[in-house]
A and B are shown apart, each in its own frame.
Chain A
């Protein structure tokens, strides 16, 4: 066996165990999902083949339409805000507070990351309550009238977004922070000599150097946001009206509340294809390698 063949063999051997798990628990289930998407299946009775009926009804279903819209809105709200916010805070800590204070703030902001989404959702429902929530009490101190956060179309999805952003920022902050620390100090020193202000340094050095990390953060953000479920489940159950139905919430509802497995698999596959397409579009914009 040549060295190259040997190398290939060992490579495959190392990959094999996890690849097998992946095939069995993700790839194979997707194939089975595709089969189920062509059937009427309520789990209690054997599936019956219906062809592409589920796909036709999915495109006509008002709940699926609403959940597409909402999921897009959700992705477009959470991803930019959490990316920009975590980048700015990381830059402030890296440039001014490389000390105990900075570490403490980072530590605090990471705590939401380790809690469960369902817990965060429950807490935010209480905090954003329209009549007794802390948030409305706080904004009333500066003279803003109480907002019916989770009770109206214009703010319900936004409130779910706020909870999501709050939970994710700490994670991306840590990644951005490390990225900034990795930028060679000499770049900044040279800029300092040229008389560039801190702000100019941020835009001309930090931002371009962070491009690969921004790519990572945006990719993860998009994938996670497309899969939004726990928050909605804990906060709004899709309401009021259809204003917070997301794709995965619709899938869950169809599968577990309505006993429509075949239909749930259909919507799930459509979502999967969607995420892949969006990720490829995003690659075009942010570019990689």
Chain B
């Protein structure tokens, strides 16, 4: 009898809990549109499966649109401008400014409890332009220096370089011992490649991209030091003479063919490097004045056009919940955890790096006209690599151009 009563009590408690849950989150008839990017083989199918629980629990429907990387921003721009955009979007820092500036993205601070904020490891990264606009979601994928350990061994070395001088001497040693390119960079891609080819060196030289007023390269000498170093890589024959026609794919392919000794790629490239049979090692970055490299800080955002803000917030919480994120990191896209208590499912090789090297990981700033400035900077640095501009001219031209925009 006692047992029966306790069971009854438990059952009643359950019913009561379900009832409160249901009343708190009943979005029957609501459809939340989520725009994401193609990370895996079939992202729409993945999210539909993972979010089926949430849909059953809340009665809401999820409409998932996977936006191709080709023309990702075009699609957001036209979608938001025409009112056919998403309720919840996936965006990266470089594209955020205009949306926040025009009020297309809403601050989310009030919807999250202190416990949730404390559990979100990168919550602070979501504060841009003075407010909490972002729920950090894909944080990681730093651009690291991969080394082909077999080629390194042939050159009689056993450790990845840690300074610029070592980078140069290691590259030269590999070239001498094996006849292959020691280190290579993609100067023939598009401006997004600055994350691999320029920004890391800028930070390593102790420079910043913009200051608080939005001025480009506030520490000009550091930027110049980085540019001069990169230029010397070309003139001294460290990187390939064909670098101005190579893009990220070509560099990755060469590395996986064992044709180049070292290259900077994202951590998400590790699995394919292994698959290609490369015995690789890595350094998170080389250190000159400081250590530094690019890290992604992509987020979920709440669009102001969301028809039902509570449902949209609930979906954002569900997507970033531990079970969904673990499944995402396991099945779709290997990344480090974003919440306390979430399992580490990225490549085991990087587990300690995320703590040890964290101080050198920089995300891009959210500032006006950033993609224009990036396009001009990449173009001018390409000209530098082709001997059309000196390193100083390349940077000065870009600074003048950036100033002319504001």
Contact = CB atoms under 8 A, between A and B. Distances in A.
A200 interface: no
Contact of B382 (A60, A241, A258): A241
A257 B378 CA distance: 15
Contact of B81 (A44, A241, A260): A44
A57 B188 contact: no
Interface string A80-123: 00000000000000000000000000000000000000000000
B81 A148 contact: no
Interface stretch (A3-11, A186-194, A209-217, A232-240): A232-240
Contacts of B379: 63, 238-239, 241-242
Contacts of A62: 397, 401
Interface string B360-404: 000000000101100110111011011010000000010001001
B98 interface: yes
Interface in A133-165: 148-153, 156
B189 interface: yes
Contacts of B250: 129
A44 B74 CA distance: 12
A229 to B, nearest CB: 13
B98 A240 contact: no
A219 interface: no
B230 to A, nearest CB: 14
Contacts of A259: 77, 98
Interface string A230-252: 00000011111110000000000
B57 interface: no
A149 B245 contact: yes
A43 interface: yes
A129 B245 contact: yes
B102 A45 contact: yes
Nearest to B250: A129
Contacts, number: 93
B225 interface: no
Contacts of B98: 42, 44, 259
B104 interface: yes
A253 interface: yes
B221 interface: no
Nearest to A237: B190
Contacts of B371: 257-258
B102 A258 contact: no
What DSSP secondary structure best describes chain A's contact surface? loop
Contacts of A150: 188, 245
Given A148-B245, A253-B375, A258-B372, A44 B388 contact: no
Given A237-B189, A240-B382, A242-B379, A42 B102 contact: yes
Contacts of B383: 240-242
B54 interface: no
What band does the interface of chain A fall in when counting residues whose beta carbon is under 8 Å from B? 20 to 34
B165 interface: no
A121 B250 CA distance: 16
Given A42-B98, A240-B386, A57 B404 contact: yes
Contact of A44 (B102, B187, B240, B243): B102
Nearest to A242: B379
Interface string B336-354: 0000000000000000000
A131 interface: yes
B99 interface: yes
Contacts of B241: 148
Interface string A39-76: 00011110000000000010010110000000000000
A241 to B, nearest CB: 4
B246 interface: yes
Nearest to A146: B242
Contacts of A153: 386, 388
Given A151-B245, A256-B74, A257-B73, 4 more contacts: A239-B378, A240-B382, A241-B379, A256-B71
Interface of A: 42-45, 57, 60, 62-63, 129-131, 148-153, 156, 236-242, 253, 256-260
27 contacts: A42-B98, A43-B77, A44-B80, A44-B81, A44-B98, A44-B102, A44-B104, A57-B404, A62-B401, A129-B245, A130-B242, A152-B244, A152-B245, A153-B388, A236-B188, A237-B189, A239-B188, A239-B244, A241-B379, A241-B386, A253-B375, A256-B73, A256-B74, A256-B77, A257-B371, A258-B375, A260-B372
